[in-house]
Structure 1
Amino acid sequence: MTTVRHSYVEETRTVVETADLVRRGELAAREAVAEALDRIGRLDPELGAFVHVDPDGALARAHEIDELVANGGDPGPLAGVPLGVKELHAVEGWPFAMGSVLHSGRTADHTSTLVERAVAAGGVPVGSTASPEFGRASFTASALHGVTRNPWNPALTPGGSSGGSAAAVAAGMVPMATGTDGAGSLRIPASYCGLVGFKGTYGRVPRGPRHWGTAENDHYGVLTRTVRDTARFLDCVCGADEYDRSSLPAPGEPFETRLASVGLRGLRVAWTPDLGNAPCDPEVAGVVGAVATRFVAAVGARRVEPALNIEDAAGVAFRTLSVPDVHAELRGVSSERLDDVHPTVRRYGEAAKALGAGALVDGHRARARLVAELARAFERFDLLLTPATQVPAFPAEGPMPTEIAGQRVDHWGALAVTFPFNLSGHPAVSVPAGTAGGAPVGLQIVGRRHEDLLVLAAAAVEAMSSTSG
């Protein structure tokens, strides 16, 4: 077990607490933002969560909110809440390197829809949080920005690719920070940092206005400390977006107000540490499995066998369908400059040169088989529980694990319980489940497509029981 060197975790006001105080005029938005900026200044030199901070812009926005409240106005459900923005999400006028030396010095000329909507709801962006290059790793380190560290133990990674956002929230620098999830990049950092990381049904959070991905694996979302905070953020940013053809209409009623009204008693719940084909660290399986058992008993659910075995072709399909997205970032880059990018990213580029129509067809067919397998599985159960990652947090500098439970694995080995639900588009969340290897570890709760509320409600129950010990 890794020894904890020092904990930088700070308990601060939640999203809901901050916003409600600001709306009532009991807390100035400028005070909330100033506190966040102070914590960033104190803690971030050690943790490396932020790659850009905009104190002037944040304080000016907070001043606008305070004036609105003073004049009897309502800034919105996120009033005055400091917001970290993953550097893969554009904010007009801010640096937009996406963790890559290839884009060092680039400035965004637009703002991502979810950031725009969060600001419209009263949120205050304070800066950009770190990502590995183009978000293509489950630890957060890049040649451009250096290493991001876990607030629970700086020797360890906060996960990736939304590692900067997770570190910022876990350390109390901000109560919420945006993230992306293409293979587990919200859920894995949430797991390693003791947070809530929710990947909604594909299209639940819009990805406009200039999302050009072709793999249809990536989901946008947020990292917070509570399920209610996540629900409030979702209520502010969900809804159809003309710039995203996959975006879904907003739910008829807010997630936040319905969390406690969802009936969980009698649900059929399945637990698997490995989806039938993925090695899982015994300590992780033991810790998370105990929480899964406790959850079933706590809600009066009925445990059933998962009878799942995700075929290896799903992993091949994921890699194949992901290649064009990375190729789009590397297309036209000289071979000399390619030497500067991370080897994993380079391998994507090399794979793109050999990618043919047959491989793409095979990838889409494997995805269709996975969707069918999960559709049949969710006829047997209502919720599927797994670890949010099969390994404890590893060294902050990387590399990704090459062995799990005595079995050799490739780059995707630590993602085997998360990426299938990116391929299929199912809603999934990680909630704290205890510790393993000197850092937090999460329970993943997966539901049927479009049953986001059920997944959030189940997560809220487990988060409350985890908090109470």
Structure 2
Amino acid sequence: MPGRRSALGIGAAVRAGAISAVEVVEEAIAAARRLDPVLHFLEGLDVRGARAAARRVDGGLLAGVPFLIKVRTPVESPLVERLVAAGAVPIGWSTRARPGARSQTFGWNGTDYTRNPWDLTRSPGGSTAGGAAAVAAGVVPLATGGDSGGSLRIPASFCGVVGFKGTYGRIPRPSRGLGGLVTAGVIGANLDDVIIATSIATGSHRLDPAALPLWPVPTTPDRPWRVAYHSTLGVPPVDPAVDRVIRDRLAATGLEVIDVPLELQPTEDAWLPLSGLDNGRGIDPAAANRAREVRDHNNIALADLFTQVDALVTPTTLTVAHGYDQHDETIVTGDPCWVFNVTGHPAVSVPAGRADGLPVGLQVVAPHGSDDVALAVARRLLVDLPVPPVH
């Protein structure tokens, strides 16, 4: 899409008659056909369906906005349903990690691994790999995904775009897992696009009546935010170059950074059994009790931290994008992310700059329900990166 148009800009132009939804969608299809042989971000392209949907567009905030759906997303997904109702047009399905892969920070289309548009030797992250690569390369302004351990935020960090996991239940899902890890969401090149798309998708749904209420577009005023910065939340250390980029960005924005200790119990003690529950596997009662202990302890520790600061800032990933061919290795670069799937806090990844020519993402976390605060702080910290070399 020439100039990497924003979703809101496309919607306004289509409603004004400056361009038709069909024209926008044809541009996205052409870009997908041109770039997919290089980046391998598509699981499938639905040309006929996209063209038919574009012809039916009749207004809506996202009128004519092309987007990709993460492969294996249920057809009845409330997120997809509500984006389409707002005028958006799905053009196909994006890649995710290969089933059974040792690490999930890759994408796989059945024959090749998804590549990062910043460097074709690198992975775009995962598991929403294809969506992040396509958004970064300007094929579409939005892509859907789900986040159970960083699957929106990790690829957003690797690809220099925005990935937002709202408070648990912010966007309804077709079926809630028993472990309570997965939150549906979107990746976008523009923070406002991500906010609008999230707002559109919120509110209780017949498939998920316990979802949080409708979340209007936030109007949180900018103010002198107080934040805590922790370069790591677990055992693995952050790469010094990533740490330096984020510290420099915090200093440049003038946010008040408060030194607040944070002692968390090991996330893996909770995430592994909870993931088992989410995926329909039985778990040992002792493991279930331990998961509850970790979740409770970490929620209390974070609640205490948020009595002193408005938000917590961390690296989204401990390193920049790793090689796309490291798929047989166990990689823990997304360690700061899965903490907040266990606790359910809102967390957003935005680009903070670059290290070694590759994007560095920072993560902003806020108290439960304070998604607007996380996004307001992230707006202060984000850096608008140029379009990557492959676009």
TM-score norm. by structure 2 comes to: 0.93
Alpha carbons of structure 1 residues 377 and 445: separation in structure 2 relative to 1, 3 Å:
same
Question: Are 1:427 and 2:350 an aligned pair?
Answer: no
Say whether 1:181 aligns with 2:140: no
Residue identity matched to 1:224: G
Deviation string for 1:189-226 (max 9, x for gaps)? 01110101111000111112xx2522211111111111
1:39 aligns with 2:31: yes
Q: 1:80 aligns with which of 64, 75, 88?
A: 64
Name whichever of 177-186 and 273-282 sits farther off.
Answer: 273-282
On the 8 A contact 1:88/1:134 being kept in 2, the answer is no
What corresponds to 1:264 in structure 2?
223
Q: Secondary structure at the match of 1:222?
A: strand
Q: Find the aligned partners of 1:371 and 1:126 in 2 and give their Cα distance.
A: 39
Looking at structure 2, the residues matched to 356 and 315 of structure 1 have their Cα atoms a distance apart, in angstroms, of 15
Q: Which of 208, 214, 217 is the equivalent residue of 1:254?
A: 217
Alignment of 1:12 with 2:8, yes or no, is no
Q: More deviation in 423-432 or 142-151?
A: 142-151
**Unaligned ranges ≥5, structure 2:** 387-391
* TM-aligned CA distance change 1:419 to 1:51, over 3 Å: same
Q: 1:62 to 1:239 in 2, by over 3 A?
A: same
| CA–CA separation in structure 2 for the residues paired with 1:363 and 1:320 | 7
Aligned length: 385
Deviations 1:282-309 (A, max 9, x none): 11111122112223x0xxx422113112
User: Displacement of 1:392 after TM fit?
Assistant: 1.6
Contact 2:143–2:188 (CA<8 Å) still a contact in 1?
Answer: yes
| Counterpart contact for 1:139–1:398, Cα < 8 Å | no
Partner of 2:290: 362
Q: Secondary structure at the match of 1:414?
A: coil
**How far has the Cα of 1:142 moved from its partner?**
4.0
Matches of residues 403-418 of structure 1 in structure 2 within 5 Å?
A: 411=331, 413-418=332-337
After superposition, where does 1:358-397 map in structure 2 within 5 Å? Answer: 358-397=286-325
Residue 231 (structure 2) aligns with: 273
1:456 is matched with 375
| Cα-to-partner distance string for 1:62-97 (whole Å, 9 max, x where unaligned) | 1112xx3xxxxxx21110000100113123xxxxxx
Residue aligning to 1:306: 260
C-alpha distance in 2, partners of 1:449/1:135?
32
**CA deviation map 1:381-430 (0-9, x unaligned):** 1111111110121111323765xxxxxxxx5x323211111111111111
Contact 1:191 1:430 survives alignment (8 Å)? yes
2:156 is the counterpart of 1:228: no
Q: Say whether the 8 Å CA contact 1:14–1:175 is kept in structure 2.
A: yes
Tell me how far apart the structure 2 counterparts of residues 143 and 118 of structure 1 sit (CA, whole Å).
24
Residue 180 of structure 2 corresponds to which residue in structure 1? 216
Matched, 1:319 2:272: yes
User: 1:142 and 1:196 mapped to 2: Cα distance?
Assistant: 21
Is 1:126 matched up with 2:110?
A: no
The equivalent of 1:193 in structure 2 is 159
Query: How big is the shift at 1:327?
Result: 5.2
Distance 1:220 1:458 in 2: 22
Distance change (3 Å), C-alpha of 1:84 and 1:135: farther
Distance between the aligned counterparts of 1:324 and 1:50, measured in 2? 30
1:198 maps to a residue whose letter is F
User: Residues 88 and 135 of structure 1 are in contact (CA less than 8 Å); yes or no, is this contact kept in structure 2?
Assistant: no
Larger % of helix: which? Answer: 1
Tell me the C-alpha RMSD between the 2 structures: 2.1
Question: CA 1:286–1:380 in structure 2 vs 1: closer, same or farther (change >3 Å)?
Answer: same
Q: Which of 284, 287, 303 lines up with 2:245 in the alignment?
A: 287
Identity %: 37
1:375 Cα deviation after fit: 0.9
- Structure 1 residue runs of 5 or longer lacking an equivalent are 1-8, 69-74, 92-110, 329-351, 403-410
CA distance in 2 between counterparts of 1:289 and 1:64 reads 48
Deviations 1:103-155 (A, max 9, x none): xxxxxxxx211100000000000000001146974322448353111011111
User: Is this contact kept in 1: 2:95–2:109, CA < 8 A?
Assistant: no
CA contact (8 A) 2:156 2:162 kept: yes
AA matched with 1:181: D
Helix, strand or coil at the partner of 2:80:
helix
Query: Do the aligned partners of residues 152 and 440 (structure 1) sit closer, same or farther apart at CA in structure 2, a change above 3 Å counting?
Result: same
Q: Does 1:144 align with 2:121?
A: no
What letter is aligned with 2:272?
Answer: R
8 A Cα contact 1:51 1:145, kept in partner: no
Distance 1:213 1:397, change over 3 A: farther
The code of the aligned residue for 1:155 comes to T
Q: CA deviation at 1:276?
A: 6.3
Report how far residue 433 of structure 1 moved: 1.1
Distance 1:278 1:167 in 2: 26
- The structure having more radius of gyration, on CA atoms, is 1
Partner-residue secondary structure (3-state), 1:273: coil
Q: Which moved more, 1:272-281 or 1:17-26?
A: 272-281
Q: Distance in 2 between matches of 1:204 and 1:426?
A: 10
Instruction: Say which of 113, 116, 125 aligns to 2:81.
Output: 116
Shift in CA distance, 212/429, structure 1 to aligned 2, threshold 3 Å: closer
